[in-house]
Amino acid sequence: MLKNFLPNQHVQNIFEITPALLKEKGISGIITDLDNTLVAWDVADATPEIIKWFQGMEENDINVMIISNNKEERVRIFSEPLKRPFVYSARKPMKRAFKKAAKQLGLKKEEVVVIGDQLMTDILGGNSAGFYTILVVPIVETDGMLTRINRQMERRILSWMRKKGMVSWKE
């Protein structure tokens, strides 16, 4: 059961995920979380660095879709200027939104990576739906109330995984 929380890969930030790295794995689509993965949860717009990251993916024919448990307005305000498709109120970790996103991208699950900062939503959901998953370190340490509860459970799961030798990185 806890193996469903184990990402395929762990990186410090989204910028470590490059088109070359993805192409090497046969990936041509990204389903990414928004808050604390692309920008801090309380930042409305994409930073210049994130805009450049999206442009790099687009230039390399890697489609990016944003998937969030947040409300439509929050996700739309971020996604529309980038001309990126999105799924809001996704109810992660349920598989349905991940499968819907892959279908909208027109890709098989083997061609898609799920990227996010939370084990309890992004990684669990991506793994349950059969996608390759990458966990990023959250951009900021502050979170909304529900996410704070998730983070407490995540710390316990990561601690257990470290003791079992399943992960080697630090929080």
Residue-range domain boundaries for the chain? 2-163
Inter-CA distances, 146 with 18, 119, 132, 143, 152, Å: 31, 13, 25, 8, 10
What pLDDT was estimated at residue 108? 94
Torsional class of 106: left (φ above 0), alpha (ψ -120 to 50), beta (otherwise): left
What pLDDT was estimated at residue 159? 76
Distance CA 1, CA 157 (A): 11
- Prediction pTM value: 0.88
What pLDDT was estimated at residue 165? 74
Mean pLDDT, the chain, integer = 89
Sheet holding 132-136, edge to edge: 9-11, 132-136, 112-116, 29-32, 63-67, 86-87
Q: Kindly indicate the confidence band of residue 55, based on its pLDDT and cuts at 50, 70 and 90.
A: very high
Digit-coded pLDDT (tens) for 99-150: 999 999 999 999 999 999 988 899 999 999 999 999 998 887 665 556 667 7
* Superfamily classification of domain 2-163: HAD superfamily/HAD-like (3.40.50.1000)
Helix (H, G, I), strand (E, B), or coil: what is residue 44?
coil
